[in-house]
Amino acid sequence: MLKTLDPVIDKVEPLKEVDNSFVIRMRKRSFILKDGELTNRAFLSSGTNCRLLNM
């Protein structure tokens, strides 16, 4: 779903080592999403940020 909201996202993968965590991969950056909290929202579109805040 996130790739639909933000076309800059290349891939979203679960982190096997950490519960409720995902890696959001972009062309030059990767971010960790854990329990709905993102390490850095500045590089995502406003629509993606809004959706993550309302999960």
The whole model's pTM is what? 0.65
> Can you tell me the distance from the alpha carbon of 40 to that of 31, in angstroms, rounded to the nearest whole number?
7
pLDDT of residue 41: 66
> Can you tell me the distance from the alpha carbon of 45 to that of 6, in angstroms, rounded to the nearest whole number?
6
Instruction: Tell me the residue ranges of DSSP E strands in 6-48.
Output: 9-14, 21-26, 30-34, 37-38
Task: Give the H/E segment covering residue 52.
Answer: helix 46-53
How does residue 40 score in pLDDT terms, banded at 50, 70 and 90? low
Mean pLDDT of 41-55: 70
pLDDT of residue 2: 67
Q: Quick one: CA dihedral 5, 46, 40, 54, positive or negative?
A: negative
Mean pLDDT of 15-43: 82
